[in-house]
Structures are given as structure tokens and as C-alpha cells.
Amino acid sequence: MNTAALADLCYRMADDELILAHRHSEWTGLGPILEEDIAFSSIAQDKLGHAQALYAIMHAHCGEPEPDVAAFMRNAEQMRCSHFVELPIGEYDFSLVRHFLFDAAEYVRWTALVESSVEPLAKLARKIHGELKYHLYHAQTWMVQLGAKGNEESHARMQSALREAWPYALGMFEPGNHEQALIDEGISIGEVATQERWIATVTELLASSTLEVPSSTEAHLGGRKGYHTDHLQPLLDEMTEVYRIDPSAEW
Amino acid sequence: MIHRQSGNMTTHDVYAALLAVRDPEIPTISVVDMGIVTNVEVRSDDDVHVTMTPTFVGCPAIDVMRSDVEAAVRGLGVAHVTVDVNFDEPWTTNRLTEAGRAALLKHGLAPPEQFETLTLKLDVLNNVACPYCGSRDTDLKSPFGPTLCRSLHYCNACLQAFEGFKPV
């Protein structure tokens, strides 16, 4: 097994899940209605679990540190998350659109990983695949509610959030340093194929929302190489505050 | 399931002990009826290995259940108990036993229906049978509830909000 390539893939996925879990959890207690508060909190909890499971695979098979250490002891330049997940939660329209575009990508990614040559990853994929249906279902429901079934303002705000999010969303598919090895060894289908399937999925899911799929191909890159937005380090500082004070703390 | 026996301890004894271990989030159901115990291996009277799998990958109750399972097996006088949590046999709601489904209903939770894992369409959530009156004239209010494994519904027949155990 090419452990360097596997770690490269898992860090990109796990760091995205970890950072977006933190962003989603910022809605806890502040959601516009109780059900949405619960939904974002639940999705955050799921994503945190997915990140932990990926860090555990790297710990078991790639010689990487324990999940808590991997999650809490790296600086921004050591993180491999995309810029998309780093952005602040913004208004609810942006958070919903990010949730939709990200979970569509997750769904495509994990569906493909069911066939991965790395058995622990394929087993985890079979499990996570079922959970993601709920994330995507929730996101799509709101795209339709605020798109086709909303009013002029909600439609305009969702369309504008989609345009704003799009270049960042495309940044999710920035490849790492082992792209060809991942494809050659059947570990993943690669970022080009993932992006193609994602655009097809997003287009299909948005069809009933009357929202337009942006056509821009500009992408915000750098995250997968350790270059991040200014939003990431403050998030890491907040997320790791307790761990840095007392790594053995239980709560 | 491996039934390797030696001495007097059997896998049946271990499962019987595990029936007393409850899910802390739904105390009417045991970890066995929940289907999260995927294997019990009795290596000797003093050496038992249990394998578990969480309902959801991020389930926060799994660590509590893991230590409760370990304590329950130790309670049988077994000195060496190991509990492994993995995804080798992933949990789906199809793993719930009949007793488990009845326990959910008793807790006021609509039990999930059997389904084909990879082809599950979430439209089924729109007409979940109400745990109070049995009507299928119900609406899904949110696919997320008070715990990761539950959804929120409303019954148009008896005008009650209720929670369902979501198929996964």
C-alpha cells in the first residue's frame, strides 16, 4: 500500500470535515429555527466523526499520529483543507449553499470510495455513504424551498450565495501531491473525475430549485498545499484552546 | 459468528449478560437488540473478545457503551476482556432485532422499516407510521433530531409530533 498517497488523500478529506464541522457548530444555539439549529449541529457531529475515523485510518496504516494529535496539534500551514471550509459562516444563505455544495462533493467522493483498493477506507465508505444521504437531503430541501418555492428575495440571495461560493467550491478538487499514484493504485478515482461527477450531481439536484449552476471555472487553490486564507489560524486557535491548555482533559 | 467454546462459558452467556447493557441515549433498548454487537468470541473462560460497531460514525455514546460492555463481561468473572470497535460489519437499521424494534416503539420512537442499503430513497421518511396511532398520514419535519440516529415527524391523524429512528 502506498501509505504516503493514502495519507495525502485522508488528510485532505479529514481536514475538510474537521474544519467544516467546526464552522457548522458555530450555528449551535443560533440557528434561524430550532430544527435548523439541530440539523447543523447534527451534521457537525457527523463530520467530526468522519474526520476522526479518517485520522484513525492514517494512524493505523500510515504511521500518522493519534487522531486527537492530528486534529489539534497542527498549524495552519500543516493543514490540507480547502479554502471553502475555512470561510466564516456568513449569512444563513451562504452556510446553506456551502453545506449543499460540500455535501454533494462528499457524497460523490464517498460513493466512489466504496470501491477503493484500501479496505479500511472502503469499509468506512460503505458506512458513511448512508449517513451522507441525510446531509444531502437536508441541503437539497432548502435549495428547493428557498429557490423554486421561496420569494424573490430568497431566490436572489441563494443565487448570489451560489455565485460567491462557486470558485471556492471548485477549490475542493485541487489535487494533492500523489494524485497519479492514488488513481493508479485504485485508492481513489482522482480529483478530475470527482469534480466531473460533482458538477453532474449538483446540476441534477438543482434542477428543481430554479437556481442556476454557475459556469465560472475560476478556482481558489492553495489549501491542499498548505496555503490558507486568514480565516483558518483564528479558527484553529479557538478549536484547540482547551487541548493546548490540558491535552489530557476529558469533557 | 464464531462459537469457539472451552470450559463452561459460551457465547450465549456473554450475549445474555450484554442484554443488560443499555444504549444511554435510548435506555429501553440493549446493545444486543440494537445490533451494534457484531461478534462475540469466547477464547476461554478467562478470555473474551467482543466486537462492536457504532450506529453513526460520530456517535458520542459508543465509548460509554464500549466500557459498559467490558464491565458486563467482567461481571461474568472473565479476567481478560477486549472490546474492539470497527466498521468491518457496518451497522444498518436492518440489524435491529424484533425485540429491539418493540423497545423503540415503547420509547415512543417509530422503528425504521427494512430496506436495501445502497438503494434507500429517503422519500420513505415522508410516510413513517406514527408510533402512537399507527397512521401513515405523517410528514417528515426534519431529518435531524435530538440524537444522530433520530428524525422529527408530525402525525396528521392524531396531531402529535413524534420522533423516528432513521433508516441508514
Q: Model confidence over A15-53: pLDDT tens digits?
A: 999 999 999 999 999 999 999 999 999 999 999 999 999
Interface test with B, best of A42, A110, A113, A114 (most B CBs within 10 A): A42
Listed by start position, the domains of chain A span 3-245
**CA atoms of A22 and A137, how far apart (whole Å):** 21
Segment B86-96 shows an average pLDDT of 92
3-state per-residue secondary structure call for A167-231: HHHHHHHCCCCCHHHHHHCCCCCCHHHHHHHHHHHHHHHHHHHCCCCCCCCCCCCCHHHCCCCCC
What's the mean pLDDT when you consider all of chain A?
A: 96
SS3 B164: strand
pLDDT < 70: residue spans in chain A: 251
CATH 3.30.300.130 intervals, chain B: 11-85
Q: Does B77 contact A at CB distance below 8 Å?
A: no
Confidence (pLDDT) at B119: 63
A130 with B168: Cβ contact below 8 A: yes
Its ipTM equals: 0.85
**What is the nearest CA distance from B8 to chain A, expressed in angstroms?**
35
| CA–CA distance, A114 with B115 (Å, rounded to integer) | 19
The HSE-up count of residue A147 (CA atoms within 13 Å, CB side) is 23
Residues of chain A in contact with residue B117, where contact means CB-CB under 8 angstroms, are 126, 130
| pLDDT score for B26 | 86
Q: How far is CA B130 from CA A218, B95, B126, in A?
A: 49, 21, 11
- Crossing angle, helix A3-25 and helix A232-239, to 10 degrees? 80
pLDDT at B2 over 60: no
Pseudo-torsion of CA A11, A14, A15, A16, nearest 10°? 120
Assess whether pLDDT exceeds 90 at residue B60. no
Q: Which amino acid is at A160?
A: S
pLDDT in tens, A129-151: 989 999 999 999 999 999 999 99
Selected residue with higher pLDDT from A90 and B115: A90
Q: Is A38 in CB contact (< 8 Å) with chain B?
A: yes
In a 13 Å sphere around the CA of B62, the CA atoms on its Cβ side amount to 22
- pLDDT of residue B6 exceeding 60, the answer is no
Q: What is the C-alpha separation between A36 and B30, in angstroms, rounded?
A: 30
- The pLDDT value given to residue B1: 46
| Nearest-angstrom CA–CA distance, A73 and B82 | 29
CA distance B37 to chain A (A): 16
CB-nearest to A49 from B56, B122, B168 is B56
In this complex, which of A50, A120, A137 lies closest to B143 when CB atoms are compared?
Answer: A137
CA distance to A45, B8, B37, B101, per residue, from A131 (Å)? 11, 41, 20, 20
Query: Is it the case that residue B4 has pLDDT exceeding 60?
Result: no
Closest residue to B57, CB basis, from A120, A128, A138: A128
* Grid cell digits, residue A180: 497519479
Homologous superfamily, domain B11-85:
Fe-S cluster assembly (FSCA) (3.30.300.130)
Report the percentage of chain B scoring pLDDT > 90.
71
Q: How confident is the model at residue B114 (pLDDT cuts 50, 70, 90)?
A: confident
Contact between residue A187 and residue A5 where contact means Cβ atoms under 8 Å apart:
yes
Confidence of residue B166 (pLDDT cuts 50, 70, 90): confident
| The CATH fold of domain A3-245 | Ferritin (1.20.1260)
Q: Does B84 touch chain A (CB under 8 A)?
A: no
The whole-number pLDDT of residue B120 equals 63
Chain B residues with beta carbon closer than 8 angstroms to that of A61: none
pLDDT of residue A139: 95
Q: Which residue has the cell 441563494?
A: A158
